[in-house]
Chain A
Amino acid sequence: MSVPHSDPAHTHGPITRVGEIPGHDDHDHDIGHPSGDHGHGGIAKYLAVFAALCVLTTMSFLTYSPAWPWRNEPHVGWAFMMAVSCTKAMLVVLFFMHVLWEANWKYVLTIPAAMMALFLGIMLIPDIGLRTRMVAQERALHMARPSDVRLMEQAGEAKLLADPAGQQNHN
């Protein structure tokens, strides 16, 4: 029984197609090849992904800038941030985790995970998250309500104990 690709650098395994002989294409092996391997493109791809990730991380702060037009609609901001996160995640999974170059088993992994992520959002937020109007009495006794937040804001603005040393600079 022959075991092709016993070279441990080939941990991807042969991807055989009809009529093709595996391993025929990349015969000059990487020992001594500084950048290219398996024709996947070398370090440059990873650095490009790194740059993209940095840009995306900066973009997720865009909702804080004064130029953001949807200040009054937090849902737009949340959707934008989730889109940025999903893009970053896709880049990490596809390139750093090498999934882009893997065989078809990657769909067995990624498609159910994507379904789960989608269902998590769709099922939990509207059906449970936004419908928690019934709370136990013990929780109701002690939990904060929007009226408490308003009370705290009013107390802050009233500055009843404002002192002349000038630390509180309103009023």
Chain B
Amino acid sequence: MNASAATISHGHGHDHDNGHGHDGHHGPVLQYQPGLPLSRGKLIMWLFLSTEIMFFAALLGSYVVLRFGAPVWPKPHHVHLSEPIGAFNTFVLICSSVTIVLALEAARANRTGLAKFWMVLTLALGTLFLGVKGYEYQAKFSHGIYPWSPRSRVFEKPDLYYGSAVRARLGEPAIMDRLKELDDAAENTLSPEEVSGRRRLKQIGQMVSSPDQQPFDLAVVADQVMPLPVDASADHSGNSGHGSHGLNDTFPWLKLPAVIPGGNMWASTYFLLTGFHAIHVLVGLIVFAILLLYRLGPKRAGMIENAGLYWHFVDLVWIFLFPLLYLF
């Protein structure tokens, strides 16, 4: 259904009634219909997208304020953020935008099998995006970076609160048992990094329990728990194979609190922005899954086009999120 601005009621092959307008009038009979030259569904979808623009503008605006107003912001490798994974996700979403456009073209050309194929591919690419996002989130969670307390094991600076948190964790019964196990283990049963790790663990245990801790001592403790190299090349033995960095990496069960200056604010904005984006991606995937139940011919082209508009918008948001979160 079209809301047309003006219609000319003759000289048009599609007309049902007049055909060629010799109905006694001398010229074309104009029939004005109010409205915009686009279908209702499309109009509503664009209105909805405007509200979504406002939504993400609010989130991005607050990210801009918080980031540029923060005295300290963590570097990407400090929070285990991998730019190549982000770039891969960008590529996946761009591909899925292309495939949904190709699905639309195929549907318009009444090639329903092809349209279905492209739409299934779009669904698959979107699911891949969500899977990679989940893997990224897991990488953050495994280092204790959560968007809220008490889950978050990230401290802003190596102060006495940090020292007491390390003490508290080392004093937990389960951890003390495992530490004892570690101490009792013979040296030849452990890997070299575990051997040096347990020695360093003992040392930091003493450092956080000593009565006159200086900030520098606590900074050394924090550096042992999870080091923050100045540039990425020192750290990048790949994100999964961290090598022998940090006691939290050597002993995955240890989960000591770590210090990442600015880390909590970073986590908050990162998880909020990418979380909402992921929810939008999920909604788009549900829409595609429902569309796949229909026959994707020219009759459905309008629906496919509107779903495609939503999906392109999701891609658009990611195009802005990627540099703002990963590359800045």
Contacts and interface: CB of A to CB of B under 8 A. Distances in A.
Interface of A: 1-16, 21-24, 27, 30-35, 37, 42-43, 46-47, 49-50, 53-54, 57, 60-61, 63-64, 78, 81-82, 84-85, 88-89, 92-93, 96-98, 102-103, 105, 109, 113, 116-117, 120-121, 124-125, 128-132, 142-146, 148-149, 151-156, 158, 160-161, 163, 165, 167
Contacts of B46: 109
Please classify how large the interface on chain B is, using the bins under 10, 10 to 19, 20 to 34, 35 or more. 35 or more
23 contacts: A10-B2, A13-B36, A14-B37, A27-B13, A30-B109, A30-B110, A31-B110, A33-B109, A89-B316, A92-B319, A105-B38, A113-B50, A120-B57, A121-B64, A124-B64, A143-B72, A144-B262, A152-B223, A154-B216, A155-B220, A156-B223, A165-B192, A165-B195
B15 interface: yes
B261 A149 contact: yes
Nearest to A169: B234
A58 to B, nearest CB: 8
A150 B302 CA distance: 58
Contacts of A117: 57
**Max chain A Cβ within 10 angstroms of own Cβ: one of B15, B39, B261, B312:** B261
A24 to B, nearest CB: 7
Contact of A32 (B17, B110, B199): B110
Contact of A96 (B18, B42, B101): B101
Interface of B: 1-9, 11-18, 31, 36-39, 42, 46, 50, 53-54, 57, 60-61, 64-65, 67-72, 83, 87, 90-91, 94-95, 97-98, 101-102, 105, 108-111, 156-158, 161, 192-193, 195-196, 199-200, 203-204, 215-216, 219-220, 222-224, 227-230, 243-244, 259, 261-263, 298-299, 301-302, 305, 308-309, 312-313, 315-316, 319-320, 322-323, 327-328
